[in-house]
Amino acid sequence: MKTDLDAVRTAFRAEATELLAGLEKDFLALESASDPAAIESVLRSVHTLKGNSLLMGFPAASEVAHRVEDLLARLSHRTRPVTAELVTLLLQAVDTLRVMLAAHGSEGREAPDVPEIQRRLQEAAGAELPTDSAPAPEGATPEKAAEAPVPVTAERTLRVGLDRLDRMLDLTGEIAISRGRLTAMLEQAHRYSPQELLEAHRDADRLYLDLQELVLKARMVPIGRAFQPFARTLRDLCEASGKLVRLEVSGEDVEVDTAVVDLIRDPLLHLVRNAVDHGIETPAVRKRLGKEYYGTLKLRASHEAGSIVIEVEDDGAGLNRERIRARAQALGLLQPGEERPDAELFLLIFTPGFSTAERVTELSGRGIGMDVVKRNIENLRGSIAIDTREGRGTTIHMRLPLTLSIIEGFSVKVGEETYILPLQSVLECVELPETEKRPGHTGVLNLRGQPLPYLRLREHFSVEGPPPARESVVVISQGRGQAGLAVDALLGQGQTVVKPLGKVFQDVSGVSGSAILGTGRVALILDVPSLLQKALRNLPAAAS
Amino acid sequence: MSQPAASSVVQYLSFFIAGEEYAVGILQVREIIEHDSVTRVPGAPAWIRGVTNLRGSVLPVIDLAMKFGLPPSTINRRSCIVVVEVAFQGEKLVMGMLADAVGQVLDLGSGDVEPPPAFGTPVHADYLAGMGKAGRKFILLLDIDRLLNHQELRAASAVTPERAAS
């Protein structure tokens, strides 16, 4: 029976974690607009949490939730105005509950100062006059709380809408029926024509495909889940640093695999902290520089050529080229007098132990460093780039592959193999002109008066056998320009279920995943940018 | 990994590569499948034949002959893929090994396994867990975990410039 109880505990924790995340978001929203209806909904969440905690034999958490409820009731009856101090207090209560929850599950975890937060909540709720709860004492800064992870356990759960699950169950039922029908028909196969059998099989197949798509979709979540906690992080950072930062988020709806959302969180957190700590100036400095009083931090997500691009942009001080150069020389990464292009030079900040901060502030120098950010991104088989202008700000671009998802693919044939290109990067297809028929790894063809460099996949992949009579070129967008891939034949577009290639191939560039074709064969999905980059690097060798 | 426990009998599955009989501990073997189309992965080390479809998941297939420095295996009517589970960089990984034919299941007691000789075997002694005595024949017992985790796997693939710079 212990396992049953464990399951209940797990469910409780998962729900409580979600409730707390929701509360955090709602409290932040209260600060910008105190809407009685919103308070009512927050009250309901707190009440649920209170009830659940009590039910789970966790009276301490229930008590804290109760105090929060009290305080919220005052807010809803408008006997207390919603002030920044109150929101801070409420957020601290959320943090306390989080730590309590984590401590509840595991031994040896330090429980926070619960009586203190209870006292302050009570005070805030009870006092008719504006309390002096004012800025939180140093020890209880939200900073420390933000650090307190929401770890609970390592188990990974995903909430799936009940109607989606219902539909899955329906589909499995329908599949069971059509399987039975198919078996019955096959047992009496002589009575049916091949067409009838094929038809029955196709009926079943459609159901399989529906189920597959549904299951895949259930794994895809909006990236907004990873962005959401940053409203809170920024608020805390601002409070601790005296800076003012506005958060602008876009592309929250871009769907990615839940695994990507999980893994991108830590690197993002560090980049956001870094931007506030090292990038954005204090209001006074900004005013002096003639900038807007408020700093702006932008989190953006978009789909690009089968990848997700996530950008963290700030309008702060930007990177100081000279200081980075000096630091790189001091660390022996650059020879005196050695010059590097900006893009390369700025990437040096991802070297372990590299920090241009003149002083290590309270906010920086903790937890993971920029080198860890880069490593995490690379572990996801992604890449990172920096765009910065001194005095104007910095943008960090992260390009991540979709680990598991469906993409629109464009299939081409090279030799015996089928390769899939992400459709987003395909612009058009043209026939390879007669004049370009000579073999070779690369060439340049005339595309409506513009030179188009192309890579011949057949040679690049060392496919044996003579080339076909007609070759085609797929024109792809590459960075800001265009390039071509010469292939044997064009097969057309279709939806592709991406299967990761696995650890054995983690260092193979030019291929981002694979897909299983209708024939049962495995086709590779090409990573166009890295393929072209590789071609570029191999050029001198190919020429010799 | 495939060290036989004292005084107990361990089962091995044997298979043939380039005329030689090799074996792996049967607990590491998941299944044996017929050789089907294998898709080559450009840029991967030559001894990785490519990937194949194992009931909807993508299975890497390696050519042990090439890993041992022999000419690549040729596919014949009896060629098959031995699907094994190996420890790779701290994770369990499912992989296929191309074999010219499957041999037999061997019961080897601890007395039937000799330490590998320092030289003379077609395979580097590092990759061997021992020599199994089956009748008058010796069968090479492979340590596939070590075989795959060997430095070569990483060294053979391209080093990105960023990595070289850092």
Same domain flag for A397 and A495: no
**Is A314 in contact with A230 (CB distance < 8 Å)?**
no
Average pLDDT, chain A: 79
- Model confidence at B158: pLDDT above 50: no
Judged by a CB distance cut-off of 8 A, whether residue B86 touches chain A is no
* A71 and A88 co-located in one domain: yes
pLDDT confidence bin for A362, thresholds 50/70/90: very low
CA distance A208 to B56: 13
Whether pLDDT at B150 is above 90:
no
| Residue in this structure with the two tokens 């212990």, named with its chain if needed | A2
- A38-42, A108-112, A516-520: which has the minimum mean pLDDT? A108-112
The residue with tokens 């990873």 is A226
Mutation for testing the A interface, residue in B36, B47, B160 having most A CBs under 10 Å:
B160
Facing B52 at nearest CB: one of A378, A500, A522: A522
| CATH classification of the domain holding A84 | 1.20.120.160
Contact A507 B158 (CB under 8 A): yes
Structure tokens at A343: 């893009």
pLDDT reported for residue A405: 61
Between A11 and B97, the higher pLDDT residue: B97
B59 band by pLDDT with thresholds 50, 70 and 90: very high
ipTM over 0.90: no
pLDDT at A148 > cutoff 70: no
**B4 part of contact set with chain A, CB < 8 Å:** no
Q: Structure tokens of B84? A: 């094994």
How confident is the model at residue B12, as a pLDDT? 92
Q: Is the separation of the CB atoms in A24 and A47 below 8 Å?
A: no
Total count of domains within chain A: 4
- Structural domain span for residue A195: 163-219
Provide the phi-psi class of A499: left if phi over 0, else alpha when psi is between -120 and 50, else beta. Answer: beta
CB-based contact A408:A497 (threshold 8 Å):
no
Considering only CB atoms, A507 lies closest to which of B93, B154, B166, namely: B154
Q: How many helices (H) and strands (E) does chain A have?
A: 17, 17
B34 vs A: CB within 8 A: no
Average pLDDT, integer, range A168-184? 92
Question: Going by C-beta distance under 8 Å and a sequence separation of 6 or more, which residues neighbour residue A386?
Answer: A319, A343, A346, A347, A349, A394, A395, A396, A397
Contact partners, residue A271, CB within 8 Å, separation at least 6: A312, A373, A396
Strand A220-222 relative to strand A245-250, pairing: unpaired
Residue-wise pLDDT for A200-249, tens only, equals 888 888 898 888 778 877 877 888 878 888 888 888 888 888 888 888 99
Residues A209 and A105 grouped into a single domain: no
Q: Is the pLDDT of residue A142 over 50?
A: no
pLDDT > 90 fraction of chain A, expressed in percent and rounded: 12
- Under the banding of pLDDT at 50, 70 and 90, the label for residue A131 is very low
Q: Same structural domain for residues A181 and A279? A: no
The amino acid that residue A345 corresponds to is L
Residue A286 lies in a domain: yes
Provide the CA B159 distance to its chain's centre, in angstroms. 26
Binning pLDDT at 50, 70 and 90, where does residue A365 land? very low
Q: What is the mean pLDDT of residues B103-112?
A: 86
Question: Taking Cα atoms as reference points, which of A54, A56, A74 lies closest to residue A65?
Answer: A54
Same domain, A504 and A473: yes
Least confident of A54-58, A186-190, A269-273: A54-58
Q: Dihedral of CA B61/B64/B67/B71: which sign? A: negative
- For A157-306, where are the E strands, in sequence order? 220-222, 245-250, 255-257, 295-304
User: Would the CB atoms of B53 and A347 count as touching at under 8 Å?
Assistant: no
User: At residue A195, does pLDDT exceed 70?
Assistant: yes
Report the candidate in B98, B45, B138 with the shortest Cα–Cα distance to residue A508.
Answer: B45
In a domain, A150, yes or no: no
**Could you tell me which chain A residue has the CA closest to the CA of B57?**
A499
Same domain for A393 and A411, yes or no, is: no
> Which has more pLDDT, A127 or A382?
A382
Q: Is B84 a residue whose pLDDT tops 90?
A: yes
pLDDT at A403: 56
User: Residue A415 pLDDT more than 80?
Assistant: yes
Tokens of A371: 């080198």
List C-alpha distances in Å: A188 to A179, A182, A197, B100.
14, 10, 10, 39
Q: What is the CATH number of domain B10-158?
A: 2.40.50.180
Could you say which DSSP state residue B116 is in? Answer: P
Interchain CB contact of A524 with B (< 8 Å): yes
Whether residue A500 sits in one domain with residue A381: no
First and final C-alpha spacing in chain B? 35
Among residues of chain B, what percentage have pLDDT more than 70? 86
pLDDT of residue B100: 92
At position A370, the amino acid (one-letter code) is: M
**Helices A84-105 & A114-126 angle (0-180, nearest 10):** 150
Q: Say if A534 is an interface residue toward chain B (CB within 8 Å).
A: yes
What is the mean predicted confidence (pLDDT) over B27-33?
92
Q: Report the residue from A501, A509, A516 with minimal CB separation from B158.
A: A509
CA-nearest residue to B44 within chain A is A508
Percent of chain A clearing pLDDT 70 (strictly above): 85
Domain parsing of chain B, residue ranges: 10-158
Question: pLDDT digits over A256-293, tens only?
Answer: 888 788 788 888 888 888 888 888 888 888 888 888 88
CATH number of domain containing A397: 3.30.565.10
Contact status of B75 with chain A (Cβ, < 8 Å)? no
Tokens representing B83 are: 């699907």
